[in-house]
Structure 1
Amino acid sequence: MGRKYFGTDGVRGRVGEEPITPEFVMRLGYAAGVTLVAREKLPAGEHPAVLIGKDTRVSGYMLEAALEAGFAAAGVNVMLAGPIPTPAVAYLTRALRLQAGVVISASHNPFYDNGIKFFSAGGTKLPDAVEAEIEAHLDEPMGCVDSAQLGRARRVEDAAGRYIEFCKSTFPNELDLRGLRIAVDCAHGAAYHIAPKVLHELGAEVLPVGVEPNGLNINDGVGATRPENLRSAVLAQGADLGIALDGDADRLMMVDARGEIYDGDKLLYVIARARHAEDRLDGVVGTLMSNLGFEHAIGRLGAPFARAKVGDRYVLELLHERGWKLGGENSGHIICLDRHTTGDGMVSALQVLAALKQRGETLADACADLVFYPQRLINVRMAAGFDWQADATIARARDDAERELGESGRVLLRPSGTEPLLRVMVEGCDGAQVDRLAKSIASAVEHAIG
């Protein structure tokens, strides 16, 4: 049975429209609280506790208050961390021995969107079964425990500082970043007060970009989804490297001194190559969007490779299923389970920097063995509920493209899990052919949607 409210990454939408309204989010907090109370079965008088973190969107204040009220009504204590990255919530939930963590963020989306996602006590995404329980309680009337059993709320002292120390602990003790000029674009998001400090305290000269959030400018022309901004900063300021995070800091893109942009596939390869040199590479998980050249390069390292559905939760699930430690997406979600329980842009950046430092290489050196197939991705906006899989026009365009590509490429159509988009991806040996076929399929989709 499909989930009614939860997508691939929590509950997300436009602020002020269902489900991202104060009333719904309060009910969501209550439903999650009821689920926690039932599952934890704590001794009488004890309350489960959750951590709430958020990014820098102006709507975060409103939704934080609504969640806090819902949890308190269910008898759950709340710890408020303020603006911190999504992976920081995962870390602190585990470190503080809490029952769950909640993030108020719409990740890379514009400021007028927001969302709610949950972490388990172990710092991982909630299992589908728990999300199903929460959804079941959402369909029930909201209640309230007796006054003596209401949850309480308090601020976490130095949540950002704790997470900064955690990030630094994932970088080898024998190394530092002295002598490096590093530009870091925080997307005016949750890492604006964290990422520059991590790099500075490891010895780098830091050139901060996108560190002036005003509630409305998150991801606006900056960050991992707009790496051209970082590229300009690196070239203008003569930086050795650039690091770009998205609004909630779980995605990573990098730029070298020449202005070359490195996506998630390339950065994951740099980390995989370093793990292989240390005989610590058991396998790598990519997604349906991972470039064929990346898959072939991992094969040349002698490591197995597997593709998950698009979405970091599916990468994580397959990693656990295979017992591997390293996986990610070309969009910049990179998961290093030997360092953290979830994808973390800052931690992943430190793994790349460590690999370069240990081998005395540049990003270009580390990626010299990668030969990527040309790949074109076009996003086509579609109405909610449009059944693209049943449309004959779209099917015909896809089949024609696959016939023309033969064994030399592939076509992938998939809906976004967070936005009303159909993603059209074509990959092959001939860039001009790939571009033409992608545009042809996208045009067919637009015609079908009308």
Structure 2
Amino acid sequence: MADAVRRLFGTDGIRGVANRAPMDASTALRLGQAAGRFFNRGAHRHRVVIGKDTRLSGYMLEPALTAGFVGAGMDVVLVGPLPTPAIAMLTRSLRADLGVMISASHNPFEDNGIKLFGPDGLKLSDAEEAEIEDLMAGDLSAQLVVPSRLGRASRLEDAPGRYIEAVKASFPKGLSLAGKRIVVDCAHGAAYKVAPTVLWELGAEVVPVGVSPDGFNINRECGSTAPERLAELVRERRADLGIALDGDADRLVLTDEKGQVVDGDQILALVAQSWAAQGRLRGDAVVATVMSNLGLERFLKAQGLRLLRTKVGDRYVGERMREAGCNLGGEQSGHMILSDFGTTGDGLVAALQVLAVLVEEGRPASQVCRRFTPLPQRLVNVRYAGSSPLEDAGVREAIASAEARLGARGRVLIRPSGTEPVIRVMAEAEEEPLVESTVEELAALIRARAAAGPERVLASQLGEAG
């Protein structure tokens, strides 16, 4: 089913506004029934692990999914608020058939999402998601189990401790964080308990923020998408490093001791160089998305390493890593996959790899975490309704013209979001004025075509055909 079309699933599961389709209880119930049916194969007792972040709507979606899975004959293990990578880890550890994370990642509390992991702890493929969607569209009532085969639901009380120990095991033996003062911003999200605990048990003096979730404040002016307060607090407390996670803790952004933000590209460069020196970097390559800065690519090339690019989405990064035999990949936004320690992005594990280098080199983060000078890069999001403005012939011509103008000095990347009706307009080049003018011109044109509506796009297509 390589050509299967997905309607509900985007680049990172299903996502939407809570209590509105598809993020309502009825859809979650059908998803549980369909996914339960899809994975209810073989004679063994079937099991699914369900975790969530701290959004209020998790209390609605969790029982709906549970009912669906139980009705499909699967036992449900509930673990409560835990990071997404913990769910992937527990799915494998408990030999479950399926793992489910209820989270909209870095989005505000009004949104929520559902991510599915297979028994190997990997996110489902496009084809698998399409098959589950087909089941959801059919008659599920005839496929539910008889009363004697209904599943059971139970809670795994020691789930946080299991994840804490797994994360600590990723930190090099013989090293300690003693003497390090670390500010960790958990975004009032899924890592609000486990992240400060991990750092404290490894010896650090921990300054925790974003650890008082109330169901509404997840990612609100905090976490990896809003590191300004973290940077300020790092300077105030004279900390060695600031760690900012997002709502489900699969994303990481750092601030050095001066409060300067360190993005995912710099983290990839740091870990890649460190691992290559130790002979730990497999494939002599790093996997990143089309969004990663050209500066990273040039830095890696100077180290004798390759940058393998893929489309946006940590799921696609993971797939390319497995194809190429790599153990390090990630996104500029902060998703870091370190496959020696887990199957999906893990902000806390990635932070520990950076801290290990800080301890080993004995230099401040402002020196350790700046591995290359990024090329000027700008990203603008253009929202639209109806048909995509990228279908317009004039827009395509403008993009081709911009690409020719930049040539070898930079690049243009125009792509639709996989989770919302937004066109992302990005350019980077060696000259900042060129970047600014390129993005402004393209964004303005796309914005105008979006405002003109579907009729304008259709007219452009007919004109091109004629």
Q: What's the TM-score once normalised by structure 1's chain length?
A: 0.96
Q: Report 1:117-128 matches (<5 A).
A: 117-128=115-126
In structure 2, what residue type is equivalent to 1:445?
Answer: I
Indicate the residue corresponding to 1:130 in structure 2.
128
* Aligned counterparts of 1:213 and 1:56: Cα–Cα separation in 2: 6
* Aligned counterparts of 1:228 and 1:422: Cα–Cα separation in 2: 26
Q: How many residues in Structure 1 have an aligned counterpart in Structure 2?
A: 444
Indicate the residue corresponding to 1:33 in structure 2.
36
| Aligned-residue offset at 1:393 | 3.7
Q: What SS does the aligned partner of 1:307 have?
A: strand
* Aligned counterparts of 2:339 and 2:362: Cα–Cα separation in 1: 25
- Match 2:320 to one of 318, 321, 324: 318
- Match 1:71 to one of 53, 69, 88: 69
Is 2:108 the counterpart of 1:110? yes
Deviations 1:279-316 (A, max 9, x none): 22231111100101100111111112210111101111
* Aligned counterparts of 1:367 and 1:107: Cα–Cα separation in 2: 25
* Aligned counterparts of 2:292 and 2:345: Cα–Cα separation in 1: 16
Indicate the residue corresponding to 1:299 in structure 2.
301
Deviations 1:120-165 (A, max 9, x none): 1111111233222211210112323211110100000221111111
In structure 1, what residue type is equivalent to 2:401?
Answer: D
* Aligned counterparts of 2:109 and 2:383: Cα–Cα separation in 1: 19
Indicate the residue corresponding to 2:22 in structure 1.
19
Indicate the residue corresponding to 1:439 in structure 2.
440
Q: What SS does the aligned partner of 1:34 have?
A: helix
| Aligned-residue offset at 1:432 | 2.1
* Aligned counterparts of 1:305 and 1:407: Cα–Cα separation in 2: 17
Q: What's the TM-score once normalised by structure 2's chain length?
A: 0.93
* Aligned counterparts of 1:381 and 1:111: Cα–Cα separation in 2: 20
Is the Cα–Cα contact under 8 Å of residues 19 and 57 in structure 2 kept in the other structure?
no
- Match 2:357 to one of 317, 333, 355: 355
Task: Give unmatched runs, 5+ long, in structure 1.
Answer: none
| Aligned-residue offset at 1:54 | 0.2
* Aligned counterparts of 2:357 and 2:96: Cα–Cα separation in 1: 33
Indicate the residue corresponding to 2:178 in structure 1.
178
| Aligned-residue offset at 1:436 | 2.2
Is the Cα–Cα contact under 8 Å of residues 80 and 155 in structure 1 kept in the other structure?
yes
Indicate the residue corresponding to 2:337 in structure 1.
335
| Aligned-residue offset at 1:360 | 2.2
Deviations 1:331-351 (A, max 9, x none): 000111111111100011111
Indicate the residue corresponding to 1:270 in structure 2.
270
Q: What SS does the aligned partner of 2:213 have?
A: coil
* Aligned counterparts of 2:68 and 2:369: Cα–Cα separation in 1: 49
* Aligned counterparts of 2:397 and 2:207: Cα–Cα separation in 1: 50
Indicate the residue corresponding to 1:430 in structure 2.
431
| Aligned-residue offset at 1:92 | 0.8
In structure 1, what residue type is equivalent to 2:379?
Answer: L
Indicate the residue corresponding to 1:344 in structure 2.
346
RMSD: 1.3
Q: Percent sequence identity over matched residues?
A: 52
In structure 1, what residue type is equivalent to 2:86?
Answer: A
Q: Report 1:82-97 matches (<5 A).
A: 82-97=80-95
In structure 1, what residue type is equivalent to 2:252?
Answer: L
Is 2:51 the counterpart of 1:53? yes
Deviations 1:151-181 (A, max 9, x none): 1000002211111111101101100101111
Task: Give unmatched runs, 5+ long, in structure 2.
Answer: 452-466
* Aligned counterparts of 2:422 and 2:396: Cα–Cα separation in 1: 17
Indicate the residue corresponding to 1:375 in structure 2.
377
| Aligned-residue offset at 1:420 | 2.1
Is 2:12 the counterpart of 1:9? yes
